[in-house]
């Protein structure tokens, strides 16, 4: 069992050149990892190498460069498959990010299976990306969006889920980890419960994959989405995992090149999985960079990462709880590295601005989770979010910065 001390964070930090810089004359303390994480040099090198040596379109050319780029692109798919323990590469669809993955399911599975009076179940915790696509679908189809509430700790009220499920439910779509509060949802139990009602489950794993091992077969989820840029890969690439049988039965998403088998003006037939859902030239460099990020994570050991982050989260939670006038939002018993907080008498944006001047990068606002803010009756929070390259010194800098905020605003 790895421990926090068996994890060499100073060696890890050397892999992330961007961290070794100053902002406003202070060492950069990057605590905005839930928005996007930094990239190790091997990822940057993989993208550079692709453009320097291998750049060509995929699945289209017979020439050497095209063969190389296709090989690297499909190798990345195999890496993703093993990373999430999917059964087949056919079940791995490359998309732009978690947002597009959810929209794809809403527009294909959703539009073909959801009718008037049917229901989709989500939770109060969701990011807008896992609310709005379902709202749009419900509006179009005359279906109903049901919402599982959360308690004061920011935990999903699991017993309410079962009460919302019925023969009209067509899908449950929930976050694995909340971006605004850090709550880890009991997704395995959620899947089990929904399956008892024969309802498929989509898990939004955008905030989970960077922090823990994800095994889609063990979870038995029907769809799982995540974004490359939060998992130390490039922006503009993400993954939709779907069970083969479901994906096979769904109509295509967008029409265009690569997703077809043959086209005539009378009739078009579609390509096989996964290409059926990948219309147009994909983000080839992004996919290859994501593959490099996965190689990097495989070297690190995600159990050691999780142990280090749990240690950091506990250290940070205790430190913030000691600050008078600071209120932490999201105190779930199962929690990942997110610290959302309010400082009495200080608007979160002002807190973020002062912290920035101290070299501490955090996010302020509603974090694209307005229903969470509404649940707690607030418009915004300041959010520090952790990655495995963060240290206890980073937390000390955050705490010092918060004291500075209080001093500036006399709070
Ligand atoms: N959350 C944050 O600062 P995209 O933008 O497609 O890569 O990811 C969307 C998304 C979906 N689900 C969850 C749980 C998320 O946290 C996010 C992105 C960022 O919290 C940017 S808003």
Please check whether residues 73 and 130 belong to one and the same domain.
yes
**Domain end among 298, 318, 341:** 298
Q: Which of 220, 204, 221, 244 is nearest to 103 (CA)?
A: 204
Phi and psi torsions of 153, nearest 5°: -80, -15
Could you tell me if residue 313 is inside a domain?
yes
Q: Are residues 84 and 227 in the same domain?
A: yes
Q: Is residue 39 in some structural domain?
A: no
Q: Are residues 243 and 375 in the same domain?
A: no
Same domain flag for 22 and 121: no
Atom in ligand 1 nearest the alpha carbon of residue 235: 7
Q: C-alpha dihedral over 97, 129, 212, 246, to 10 degrees?
A: -70
62-117, pLDDT tens digit by residue? Answer: 999 999 999 999 999 999 999 999 999 999 999 999 999 999 999 999 999 999 99
Q: Is residue 35 part of a domain?
A: no
- Across the range 350-366, mean pLDDT stands at 98
**5 has pLDDT over 60:** no
- Residue 137 shares a structural domain with residue 207: yes
Flag whether 99 is in a domain: yes
Phi/psi of residue 240, nearest 5 degrees: -115, 120
The CA distance from 138 to 135, in Å, is 5
Rounded to the nearest angstrom, the distance between the alpha carbon of 316 and the centre of ligand 1 is: 23
Q: Which residues pair with 343 in a beta bridge?
A: 326, 346
Measured in Å, how far apart are the chain's first and last C-alpha atoms? 43
Q: CA 373 → CA 110, 145, 320, 369, distances in Å?
A: 28, 19, 20, 7
* Count of CB atoms situated within 10 Å of the CB of 159: 9
The pLDDT tens digits of the residues spanning 52-64 come to: 999 999 998 799 9
3 pLDDT higher than 90? no
- Residue 38 counted as domain residue: no
Residues 78 and 219 in one domain: yes
Mutate which of 127, 239, 383 for ligand 1? The one with the most ligand atoms within 8 Å of its CB, which is 127
**Ligand 1 centroid from CA 127, angstroms:** 7
Domain count, the chain: 2
Q: How buried is 381 (Cβ within 10 angstroms: 0-12 exposed, 13-18 middle, 19+ buried)?
A: buried
Q: What is the pLDDT of residue 198?
A: 98
Residues 142 and 196 both lie in one domain: yes
Q: Which residues are catalytic?
A: 368
Determine the Cα–Cα distance for residues 235 and 40; give it in Å rounded to an integer.
14
> Which two structure tokens, joined as six digits, stand for 407?
């001093």
Pocket test for ligand 1, best of 179, 187, 366, 384 (most atoms within 8 A of CB): 179
pLDDT band at 2 (very low <50, low <70, confident <90, very high): low
Contact (Cβ atoms closer than 8 angstroms) between residue 340 and residue 182: yes
Three-state helix/strand/coil letters over the chain: CCCHHHCCHHHHHHCCHHHCCEECCEECEECECCCCCCCCHHHHHHHHHHHHHHCCCCCCCCCHHHHHHHHHHHHHHHHHHHHCCCCCHHHEEEECCHHHHHHHHHHHHHHHHCCCCCEEEEECCCCHHHCHHHHHHHHHHCCEEEEECECCCCCECHHHHHHHCCCCEEEEEEECECCCCCEECCHHHHHHHHHHCCCCEEEECCCCCCCCCCCHHHHCCCEEEEEHHHHCCCCCCEEEEECHHHHHHCCCCCCCCCCEEEECCCCEEECCCCHHHCCCCCCHHHHHHHHHHHHHHHHHCHHHHHHHHHHHHHHHHHHHHCCCCEEEECCCCCECCEEEEEECCECHHHHHHHHHHCCEECEEECCCCHHHHHHCCCCCEEEEECCCCCCHHHHHHHHHHHHHHHHHHCC
**CATH number reported for the structural domain that contains residue 400 in this entry:** 3.90.1150.10
CA–CA gap between residue 338 and residue 230 (Å, rounded): 14
Q: Give the domain-ending residue among 248, 264, 298.
A: 298
Asked if the model's pLDDT at residue 51 lies above 90, the reply is yes
Q: Assess whether 99 and 50 both reside in one domain.
A: yes
Q: Are 143 and 137 in contact (CB under 8 A)?
A: yes
Q: Is the pLDDT of residue 4 over 70?
A: no
**Which atom of ligand 1 approaches the CA of 175 most closely?**
14
Segment 187-235, tens digit of pLDDT: 999 999 999 999 999 999 999 999 999 999 999 999 999 999 999 999 9
Residue 36 within a domain: no
**CATH assignment at residue 58:** 3.40.640.10
The residue nearest atom 1 of ligand 1, judged by CA position, is: 35
Are 385 and 292 within one domain?
no
Across all residues in the chain, what is the average pLDDT? 96
Which residues have C-beta atoms less than 6 Å from ligand 1?
34-35, 97-99, 127, 129-130, 175, 179, 204, 206-207, 227, 363, 367-368
Looking up tokens 């069992």 gives: 1
- What digits encode the pLDDT tens for the residues 275-326? 999 999 999 999 999 999 999 999 998 888 889 999 999 999 999 999 999 9
Count CB neighbours of 188 within 10 A.
Answer: 14
Of 257, 274, 298, the residue that ends a domain is 298
In sequence order, which residues have a C-beta less than 8 Å from that of residue 374 and are 6 or more positions away?
none
Most informative mutation of 129, 130, 214, 380 for ligand 1 (most atoms within 8 A of CB): 129
- State the closest ligand 1 atom to the C-alpha of 180, by its place in the atom list counted from 1: 20
Region 172-192 average pLDDT: 98
pLDDT of residue 174: 98
pLDDT at res. 411: 86
**Domain annotation covers residue 165:** yes
Say whether both 94 and 189 belong to one domain.
yes
Token duo for residue 364: 């302020």
Residue 248: band (very low, low, confident or very high) from pLDDT cuts 50, 70, 90:
very high
8 Å CB contact between 83 and 226: no
Answer for the pair 96, 252: CB distance below 8 angstroms, yes or no: no
Whether 264 maps to a domain, the answer reads yes
Q: Which residue segment(s) compose the domain that 13 sits in?
A: 4-30+301-409
Question: Domain check: are 14 and 106 in the same one?
Answer: no
Question: Which residue minimizes the CA distance to atom 19 of ligand 1?
Answer: 35
Q: Which two tokens mark 143?
A: 């279906």
On whether both 242 and 341 belong to a single domain, the answer is: no
Minimum CA distance residue for ligand 1 atom 16: 179
Q: What are the pLDDT digits (tens) for 330-342?
A: 999 999 999 999 9
């Amino acid at each position: 069992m790895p421990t926090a001390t068996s994890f060499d964070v100073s060696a890890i930090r050397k892999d992330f050149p961007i961290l070794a810089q100053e902002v406003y004359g202070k060492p950069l303390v990057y605590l905005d990892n839930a928005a996007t994480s930094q990239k190790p040099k091997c990822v940057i090198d993989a993208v550079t190498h692709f453009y320097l040596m291998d750049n060509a379109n995929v699945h289209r050319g017979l020439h050497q460069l095209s063969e190389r780029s296709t090989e690297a692109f499909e190798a990345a798919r195999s890496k993703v498959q093993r990373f999430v323990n999917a059964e087949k590469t056919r079940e791995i669809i490359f998309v732009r990010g978690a947002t597009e993955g959810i929209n794809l399911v809403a527009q294909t599975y959703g539009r073909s299976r959801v009718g008037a009076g049917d229901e989709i179940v989500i939770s109060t915790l969701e990011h807008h990306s896992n609310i709005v696509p379902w709202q749009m679908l419900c509006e179009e189809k005359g279906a109903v969006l049901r919402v599982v509430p959360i308690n004061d700790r920011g935990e999903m009220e699991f017993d309410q889920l079962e009460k919302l499920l019925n023969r009209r439910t067509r899908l449950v779509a929930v976050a694995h980890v909340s971006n605004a509060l850090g709550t880890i949802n009991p997704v395995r139990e959620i899947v089990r419960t929904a399956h008892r009602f024969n309802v498929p489950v989509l898990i939004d794993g955008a905030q989970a994959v960077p922090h823990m091992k994800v095994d889609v077969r063990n979870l038995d989820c029907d769809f799982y989405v995540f974004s490359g840029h939060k998992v130390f890969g490039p922006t503009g690439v993400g993954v939709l995992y779907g069970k083969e049988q479901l994906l096979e039965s769904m109509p295509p998403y967008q029409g265009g090149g690569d997703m077809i088998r043959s086209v005539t003006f009378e009739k078009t037939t579609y390509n096989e999985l996964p290409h059926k859902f990948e219309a147009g030239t994909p983000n080839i460099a992004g996919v290859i960079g994501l593959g490099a990020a996965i190689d990097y994570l495989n070297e690190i050991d995600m159990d050691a990462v999780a142990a280090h982050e749990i240690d950091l989260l506990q250290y940070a939670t205790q430190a913030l709880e000691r600050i008078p006038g600071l209120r932490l939002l999201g105190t779930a018993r199962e929690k990942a590295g997110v610290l959302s907080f309010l400082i009495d008498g200080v608007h979160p944006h002002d807190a973020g601005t002062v912290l920035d001047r101290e070299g501490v990068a955090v996010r302020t606002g509603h974090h694209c989770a307005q229903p969470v803010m509404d649940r707690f009756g607030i418009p915004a929070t300041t959010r520090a979010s952790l990655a495995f390259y963060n240290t206890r010194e980073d937390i000390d800098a955050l705490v010092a910065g918060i004291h500075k905020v209080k001093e500036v605003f006399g709070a």
